[in-house]
Structure 1
C-alpha cells in the first residue's frame, strides 16, 4: 500500500507464510493473493470525523459479516428471484487423487470400500443426469509430503461440500424487513450469513448463503437487491 492513500487496518492473523512473486502484479491482485494465502477476507473501511474522511483502511478479517440466523424463503422475503445455476462445478460424486512419493498415485480406495470416489444421496437426487452420477475430479493443491488416504478423504469431503452447496446463486429483490419496517435486528449487510429455503427442489433445499453484494435504495427500501451465494 506504499504510495497510496489506503493503509493497513485490522489484521486478524498472527504468524507468517512465504510468498514468491515472480511476475508484475497490481496492488489489488497482490492484496487478494495475501488474503488467500492467510485464508482471510478483505474489508475496506473509512473513518469519518464530522464531514471529513480522515482515513482509508484495508482490513483482513477471518470472516466479514455476521451469523444472522435470519431465514429467507420464497413468498416471505424473496421477490423476483432469479436462480443462477453454475453447472460446470456441480457433481454428485467426487473422485480424489494426488501423486505421492515416487509419483505413486494416492486415492481413498483402501479406506472407502474399494471406491475411489465419494457420493451424496441428496446431491444425487437434485443433480443426477438421467439417473447417473455427475463425476467431478479433485486434486488438492498442497505441498504436504506425507499425504495419506485419510487426509485425502478429509480434503475431499471439504471440497465436495463446496461443489454441492455453492453451485447455485440467487439474484434477489429482497424486501429487507429491517429497512422497510425499521426493525434493526433484521437488517441485511454484505458478508452476513443467512439461510435460504428453496422449495423448488425435491427434497427442499436449505442453504447457508452469504450476501455477496447489495444494491440498496435510500429512498425506497422495497427496491433493495442482493446477490446471495
Structure 2
C-alpha cells in the first residue's frame, strides 16, 4: 500500500507506505458512504520522519481503491501529538474528498428540458475542473434547478432523479493529474447472492433498530394542475381478488398495509399515516404504485447492521472476495417476530490498509424478501416449533456399546455393537425387554433368502421351457416366428424373476407382491416377449 503526497499545486512531495526508506503508515482509516458519495481518509505517520514534513493542510494525497481507481483527497487537518505508550511524536492527518471543491461553484436557477444524464452532468460541471466519466444511463429527463445551489448539490439531484449512484476518480499520467471524473453508475457494487444470518452471539456485530419513520399507511400526492390541486389516486381501485397487492376502494386517497396495521397500528385499529410526494407524476395508477412501494420501505422498523468485514466475509461465504461499497447480500434475522428476510447493501465501508482486521461495513437500503412456504410445510413447521421444547425435555440419550445400559428408560435406544452389522435395539418398558429396532434377517421383512431365490429361479426356468414346449406360450405370427427360442424365453423369464427379486429385497415394492408362481406363463404377450428379447440382446 502506498499513498502519494502532493502539495497544494499538485506537485509530488513524498510517497508514504512500503519501501526501505519511505515514511511508514502507522495506522489509517478509509471511509466511504454510498448515500452521499462522501469519502474521507485518516492516517498517522512518525512526525520525525523527513517526509512527514511534506504533509501540509490544503495539500493532497492520492491512493487506489480495491478496483484500482485512483482517488484524490485534500488534506484538511494536520495534528502532531505524542504517543503516550511509545513516547514518540505522531503526525495525524485528516483528508476529505477533493471533489468537495465543487461546493465552491454555484449553479443558478434554470431548467434543462429533456436531456440525458451525461448532458445534465456536463451542464452542472461546466466551468469546473471535473467532467462526466462513466455514465450508465439512457433516457431523457427534465431537470429543474429551483434555487441557487452548489455543483455538489446539483450532482446529487441529477443522480437522484435519474436513479444513479455517484463515484469520484482521477487519472494520473506523466507525473500529473490529467483528468477528474464524476461517474454515474446505475448501481455500485455487486449482487453477491450471499446469505448473512444475524445471530445475537456474533462478536463484531451491532444491530440498531429505529422506528422514527415508521408508518402503516400513506397518502400519495402527484403533480399540480393549473389550479394548484395535487393529483391523488382516489380514482383508482385496487382489489386483491384481481391480483393487486391490497384492497383500496374508489374515493380513498390513501393506501394502507393491513399486516403493518395489525403489528404497529394505534389502539382501535388506527393507521400511522405518512405522505408520499412526486411532483412530476401525472398518472394516478403510477402514483398509487409508487406510494405503495414507498410504504413498504417504511412499514418496518429501520434496522442498521454494523459488521466487521472479516465477520461478514466469513458468515456470508465471501472469504475470497473483497467486500465493496454497494455490494448486496441477504440478511436472515430470526431474532425478531416474525422473522425477517431482507436484501441489504453495503452503504458504508471503513477500511484500514495497515490493519485489515479493523475493516467494517454498515448494511442498509433494505428490501423485504417474501418467502412463501407451501401450506403443508408451513403447518409442519408450526407443529415442530410447538413441540420442540417438549421433545427436548423428553429426549433420552442413545447408548452405544456391546452391552446394554443400566436402568434404561422406556423407549431408550441402544446401538448394539457386539455384532456386525450393528443392531439398533429399543427398551420396551411394559415388556421389560430389549427389542430389535432394525431387521437383521431376510424373513423379518418377508424378503427372499438367496437359497430361496435360486430355487424359484431354477423352477421358473423349467416351467418356462415346458410351457414353450407344450405350446402354452403362443408365439406371435410374423416377426417373432423362428426368432425366439425356448431357451431365450426361459432366460427372459429368469431375468424378470431376478429383477423382481432385487426389487423385493430392496423393499421398493411390497414383499410378496411378485413371486415365481405369480409370473403366470399365459400372461406373456407379444409385447412382453419383445421387451424380454431386447433385454437379452
TM-score, length basis structure 1: 0.77
- Pair 227,104 (structure 1): closer, same or farther in 2 beyond 3 Å: closer
User: 1 CA distance for matches of 2:318 and 2:302?
Assistant: 33
Gapped runs of 5+ residues in structure 2?
A: 1-124, 238-247, 365-537
Number of residue pairs aligned between Structure 1 and Structure 2: 222
Task: Classify the secondary structure of the residue corresponding to 1:184.
Answer: coil
Aligned counterpart in structure 2 of residue 57 of structure 1, from 162, 173, 181: 181
Contact 1:195 1:206 in 2 (8 A): yes
Q: In 1, Cα distance between the equivalents of 2:332 and 2:150?
A: 40
Q: Superposed, which structure 2 residues align to 1:176-187 within 5 Å?
A: 176-177=312-313, 183-185=319-321, 187=322
Q: Equivalent residues in 2 for 1:189-200 (5 A)?
A: 189-200=324-335
Q: Which residue in 1 is equivalent to 2:117?
A: none
What is aligned with 1:117? 255
Larger Rg: 2
For residues 223 and 158 of structure 1, do their structure 2 counterparts lie closer, same or farther at Cα, with a shift above 3 Å needed?
same
Q: Which of 59-68 and 130-139 deviates more?
A: 130-139
Deviations 1:138-175 (A, max 9, x none): 24313344x33x33321222111221368222233342
1:44 corresponding residue in structure 2: 168
Any idea what SS the aligned residue of 1:228 has? strand
Q: Secondary structure of the residue that 2:158 maps to in structure 1? A: helix
Using CA pairs under 8 Å that are at least 6 residues apart, name the structure with larger relative contact order, 1 or 2.
1
**Which structure has more strand as a fraction of its residues?**
1
TM-score (norm 2): 0.36
Q: From the superposition, tell whether residues 202 and 133 of structure 1 become closer, same or farther in structure 2 (CA, over 3 Å).
A: farther
For 2:205, which of 69, 74, 80 is the aligned residue?
A: 80
Q: 1:98 to 1:4 in 2, by over 3 A?
A: closer
Q: CA deviation at 1:125?
A: 5.9
Q: Deviations over 1:11-44 (max 9, x none)?
A: 1223432323243211111111111222211112
Distance 1:50 1:200 in 2: 56
- Select the structure that is richer in helix: 2
Q: Following superposition of structure 1 onto structure 2, how do residues 93-108 of structure 1 map, counting pairs within 5 Å?
A: 93-96=217-220, 103=229, 106-108=232-234
Please, which of 208, 220, 226 is the counterpart of residue 343 of structure 2?
208
Give 2:357's match in structure 1, choosing from 214, 217, 222: 222
1:13 aligns with 2:137: yes
Q: How much does 1:104 deviate?
A: 8.0
Residues 156-195 of structure 1 show CA distances to partners (whole Å, capped at 9, x for unaligned) of: 22111221368222233342437xx99333x321011111
Whether the 8 Å contact between 1:90 and 1:134 is mirrored in structure 2 is no
Measure, in 1, the Cα distance between the counterparts of 2:301 and 2:160.
Answer: 18
- 2:286 paired residue among 138, 146, 151: 151
CA distance in 1, matches of 2:280, 2:318: 51
